[in-house]
Amino acid sequence: MSETAQVTWLTQDAYNRLKHELDELVENRPVIAAKINASREEGDLKENGGYHAAREEQGQAEARIRQLQELLRTAKVGEAPPNDGLAEPGKVLTVRYEGDKDTENFLLATREEGVEGELEVFSPESPLGKALLGAKEGETRSYELPNGGTQKVTLIKAVPYTG
């Protein structure tokens, strides 16, 4: 684990939901292991679809367990960022793209935050999130689009997400 682990800001509800998911996955480990053992006893593993499906399920569950453990280990729970007009995780950003009159609002956070409703979530690791991270209200930044073009975006407002 690197020393530059990214801290993830989570509401208490999101933390509780992710912790519950992790607990369920850990509790389910013996069930998946039993499926693998039962399928293994059916004979030839090369043509045993049940065995391969159970192994795949186990691999996905273990990957999600590791992901959740790391996320929860580095999470800051319930600490809303300061209302200082800077673009940072846990803030609702209002932006205007160059050439567009309308503004767009989104939450700068991990997708794990799982915000209910109409608010879109952009990760601080996304091209848009990286471009805006640390921007001040009124500041214009650029980022690369998937097609190789460049998009300019202006931060209009940055306020803490209140859920």
Tokens of 129: 């999130």
pTM listed for this prediction: 0.54
Residue 67 has a pLDDT of 85
Selected residue with higher pLDDT from 132 and 118? 132
Say if residue 5's pLDDT is above 60.
no
CB 10 within 8 A of CB 68: no
Selected residue with higher pLDDT from 96 and 45? 96
Selected residue with higher pLDDT from 6 and 93? 93
Give the CATH fold of the 91-160 domain: Chitinase A; domain 3 (3.10.50)
Residues 6+ apart with CB under 8 A from 103: 94, 95, 96, 156
The mean pLDDT value of the chain amounts to 83
Selected residue with higher pLDDT from 62 and 122? 62
Residue 136 has a pLDDT of 94
Which run of H or E residues covers position 71?
helix 49-74
Say if residue 6's pLDDT is above 60.
no
What are the residue boundaries of the structural domains of the chain, listed by start?
A: 8-77, 91-160
Residue 2 has a pLDDT of 36
Say if residue 126's pLDDT is above 50.
yes
**Sheet arrangement for strand 120-122:** 120-122, 104-108, 91-97, 150-160, 140-144
Give the sign of the dihedral formed by CA 139, CA 163, CA 12, CA 23: negative
CATH architecture, range 8-77 = Orthogonal Bundle (1.10)
- Read off the pLDDT of residues 16-34 as tens digits, 9 standing for 90 and up: 888 999 999 999 999 989 9
